[in-house]
Structure 1
Amino acid sequence: MMTETRETKIKRLHMRSIRRGIKEMDLILTAYATDYMQDLSDAELETYDSFLKEYDHDIYGWITGQGEAPEEYAGIMTVIMGLASGLTRPN
């Protein structure tokens, strides 16, 4: 099995962040990936990788308060919800 380098993982996760099924998720996750992903620890990158496997409608529901995200995503959600405020709730 080939091990993915950190740089390759970041590129892969960035691509998965910017090409989602819902335009709002493209915008929200592109901002997160661009601004925060380079500074994530390896463990945080693993969590973000798992997060990106969730359905867009579920993630969007968590962001808009229509559902509660799993506890493992609490740190990610705190940042993402701050980035999404103008997209999901008028300022």
Structure 2
Amino acid sequence: MTAGEDLSMRRKMIRYRAWHRGTREMDLVLGPFADAHINDLSAEDLDRLERVMSEEDPPLLKWVLGQETPPEGFDVAFLARIIADHRARIAK
């Protein structure tokens, strides 16, 4: 397998995981984000997305909804991209 094929497979796996989180609410946040942006994300951004997705759904949803603040050291800049994408979709 080439590096391009590895990256393509990685993108497919991340996209699948974004839609199959365990809670429908997070599926509807991360799934559309992955659909819209997965092919444009660099390997570094894929790492960042995977780190966000490694969080449990309940706290992640609270962060997305602005009910709680992510912990110190969390990648809030990347989370902000996901939140902005979600808000733009629900505003339509």
Q: Compute the TM-score of the two structures, normalised by the length of structure 2.
A: 0.79
Counterpart residue number, 1:18: 19
Q: Kindly state the Cα deviation for residue 56 of structure 1 after the two structures are TM-superposed.
A: 0.6
The number of aligned residues is 87
Pair 1:55 & 2:28 matched: no
Q: In the alignment, which of 78, 81, 89 is matched to residue 79 of structure 1? A: 81
Q: Write the deviation string for residues 18-48 of structure 1: whole angstroms up to 9, x where unpaired.
A: 0011111111111110111211111111111
Moved over 3 A (4+): none
Tell me the amino acid that sits aligned with residue 81 of structure 1: I
Residue 47 of structure 1 aligns to a residue whose secondary structure is helix
Tell me the percent identity.
25
CA shift, 1:59, in A, is 0.8
| TM alignment of 1:59-70, pairs within 5 A | 59-70=60-71
Q: Alpha-carbon deviation of 1:72? A: 4.3
Unaligned runs of at least 5 residues, structure 1: none
Question: Where does residue 31 of structure 2 map in the other structure?
Answer: 30
SS for the counterpart of 1:5 is helix
CA distance in 2, matches of 1:77, 1:41: 16
Which runs of no fewer than 5 residues in structure 2 stay unpaired? Answer: none
TM-score (norm 1): 0.79
> Could you tell me which amino acid in structure 1 is paired with residue 58 of structure 2?
H
**Aligned CA-pair RMSD:** 2.4
2: CA distance, partners of 1:11 / 1:48: 13
